[in-house]
Amino acid sequence: MISKKIFIDYKELNVLAAAYEVVLSNLDNTFGVKEVGSHIVLIPSGTTLDNPSIGRYEKIIELEENTAYIVSWKITPNFGDQPKFASQIIGPFTTDSQVNTSSDFRGSFIQGTRATLFLKITDLAGNPQDATSVLCAITKDGNQITSGFPEKVHTGFYAFDFNIAEFQELGKYDVLWTFNSDTPHSEAQTFIVASRTQSDGAPSLYTSRISDFRNSLGFMITCAQSIPVYSEPAKASADKKTYMFSFKRWNQSPGCRVYLNDEIVTSGIKINYFTGTAVFDDALSSFDRVKVDYNFRWFSDEELDRFLSNALNLVNLYPPVSRGVSLMNVEDRYIPLVLYGAAVDAIRHMMMCLQFQQPQMVFGGPDGAKAAYGNLEGLKKNYEETWNAGIEQKKYGPYAGLTKTLVTPEFALPGGKSRWFRYLFSNNS
């Protein structure tokens, strides 16, 4: 058994506050803490907690090694208020394990799609290690949705497909991987199933083939869409509450860090990832210094869509030519040509930007930008050569369903050509 302290901080307006009641309980009052997978209740519903300071509610519990648990909190802010519920997965914990595990996923977890869950198993030195009896179980609110044996991709790497139904219940799901490697082990992860956007019949820019094109182009220029910036000084607005930075379109996945007088800001601030601004709840003084670490995309979605559209139109200039072709219905065989043409446009756009002062600062100034320009030129030529080779092959068809002209060469018998020329010459003279 392992002793662990579980706790929750209750806040109002981002400030620790005393709640009327905080206990361990789930929505239907069946458990406070239970094992993931087996659903064995460890701590019953209604268990009280210690309250060592304002807003902090905690309890020390005894847990089994290599086991994951669901902890559910019932919070009543004030007397007579409707209680709120929060849950988390803790564990698995171990004191003497020589196995390291990590979980990941691929997919968007949207109704009517398929997502893939991954598990990697290594030893403590990082070497892949196979296991036996690897099982993946997906549960929601303690009820098992599906389970099965994952596919072994290669040594120590396992994948489990989750086919999400069209009307799959929305919300948070818990995943528990269990396996044996000398001793039983487990790894927990969570994901949220979201609803599919309802369409009115028009193709959506973010849930259709256009989105797939945009994502594919993003892979070809991936570093340009994930550029880190460190310790950039902010430009303050007149009210000393809004602080602006050089680049917009911040990526949420890497997050950002805001520093006020070299101390990380954890509350009293709002980040706008679209515009690249930080807004403080209270005005700062003229002596305060604000810096930020962030990660941004060089190209907007509108720019990527334009590169793709231009590339498609150029591809369609070369025979065989089809009418009414768009990104929604272009033949699959021409997708690489469209992507390479769009990538060339994107790189050319970036090279032009490097002629100006502000974009140059991303690469450390004019000298760094000059070196980057040369590298981008080489990459652009590589993409152009691939694009030109594909365009050269496009003229060979197929021409099925299109009009074309066939020319069959004809040859005269020996001596016939010279007699024909003599005939024309005598008539003309």
Q: Is the pLDDT of residue 43 over 90?
A: yes
Mean pLDDT of the chain: 86
Q: What does the DSSP assignment read for 304-351?
A: HHHHHHHHHHHHTTSSSP-TT--TTT--GGGHHHHHHHHHHHHHHHHH
Encoded tokens for 113:
């799609």
- State residue 104 phi and psi, 5-degree precision: -155, 180
Task: Output the CA–CA distances (angstroms, integers) from residue 187 to 123, 137, 166, in the order listed.
Answer: 15, 11, 28
Domain ends where: 71, 90, 109? 90
Is residue 200 domain-resident? no
Is residue 181 domain-resident? yes
Task: Output the CA–CA distances (angstroms, integers) from residue 109 to 36, 104, 171, 172, 212, in the order listed.
Answer: 21, 13, 10, 10, 16
Q: Does one domain contain both 67 and 135?
A: no
Encoded tokens for 162:
């989750």
The identity of residue 361, as a single letter, is M
Q: Which residues contact 187 (CB under 8 A, 6 or more apart)?
A: 68, 92, 101, 102, 103, 119, 176, 177
Structural domain total, the chain: 4
Is residue 85 domain-resident? yes
- The C-alpha atoms of residue 295 and residue 256 are separated, in whole angstroms, by 7
Across 227-242, average pLDDT: 91
Q: Does one domain contain both 331 and 292?
A: no
Angle between the N-to-C axes of helices 209-220 and 335-353, in degrees from 0 to 180, rounded to the nearest 10: 50
Across 31-55, average pLDDT: 90
The identity of residue 159, as a single letter, is A
Q: Does one domain contain both 242 and 323?
A: no
| Strand, coil or helix: 361 | helix
Q: Does one domain contain both 59 and 120?
A: no
- The C-alpha atoms of residue 190 and residue 138 are separated, in whole angstroms, by 9
Residues 271-308 as b or e (16 or more Cβ within 10 Å = b): beeeebbbbbeeebeeeeebbbbbbbbbbeeeebbbbb
pLDDT band at 325 (very low <50, low <70, confident <90, very high): confident
Is residue 415 domain-resident? no
Domain ends where: 296, 322, 352? 296
What confidence score (pLDDT) does residue 396 get?
84
Q: Is the pLDDT of residue 201 over 70?
A: no
Query: What's the domain range around 84?
Result: 2-90
Q: Does one domain contain both 290 and 312?
A: no
Q: Does one domain contain both 250 and 329?
A: no
Q: Does one domain contain both 38 and 110?
A: no
pTM of the model: 0.65
- The C-alpha atoms of residue 50 and residue 32 are separated, in whole angstroms, by 15
pLDDT digits (tens, 9 = 90+) for 305-324: 999 999 999 999 988 887 77
Is residue 420 domain-resident? no
- The C-alpha atoms of residue 271 and residue 283 are separated, in whole angstroms, by 15
Q: Does one domain contain both 337 and 274?
A: no
pLDDT band at 4 (very low <50, low <70, confident <90, very high): confident
pLDDT digits (tens, 9 = 90+) for 174-193: 898 988 887 778 888 889 99
Across 267-285, average pLDDT: 90
Short-list 220, 222, 227, 279, CA closest to 248: 227
- The C-alpha atoms of residue 387 and residue 311 are separated, in whole angstroms, by 10
What confidence score (pLDDT) does residue 165 get?
92
Q: Does one domain contain both 231 and 312?
A: no
Across 143-160, average pLDDT: 92
Is residue 289 domain-resident? yes
The rounded radius of gyration (Å) of the Cα atoms in the chain is: 31
Is residue 417 domain-resident? no
Encoded tokens for 95:
């004191």
Is residue 274 domain-resident? yes
Q: Is the pLDDT of residue 32 over 70?
A: yes
Helices (H) and strands (E) in the chain, counts: 6, 27
Task: Quickly list H helices, 195-325.
Answer: 209-220, 301-315
Q: Is the pLDDT of residue 401 over 90?
A: no
Domain ends where: 90, 117, 134? 90
- The C-alpha atoms of residue 290 and residue 288 are separated, in whole angstroms, by 7
pLDDT digits (tens, 9 = 90+) for 74-85: 999 999 999 998
103, 156 Cβ separation under 8 angstroms? no
pLDDT band at 402 (very low <50, low <70, confident <90, very high): low
Residue 45: CB atoms within 10 Å: 19
Q: Which residues contact 115 (CB under 8 A, 6 or more apart)?
A: 105, 106, 107, 108, 109, 161, 162, 164, 191
- The C-alpha atoms of residue 225 and residue 299 are separated, in whole angstroms, by 7
Beta bridge partners of 270: 279
- The C-alpha atoms of residue 83 and residue 373 are separated, in whole angstroms, by 58
Q: Does one domain contain both 61 and 139?
A: no
- The C-alpha atoms of residue 414 and residue 254 are separated, in whole angstroms, by 78
The identity of residue 92, as a single letter, is P
What confidence score (pLDDT) does residue 147 get?
92
Q: Does one domain contain both 104 and 188?
A: yes
Q: What is the CATH number of the domain that holds 109?
A: 2.60.40.1930
Q: What does the DSSP assignment read for 1-66?
A: -EEEEEEEE-EETTEE---SEEEE--TTSS-SEEETTT--EEE-TTEE-EEEETTEEEEEEEE-TT
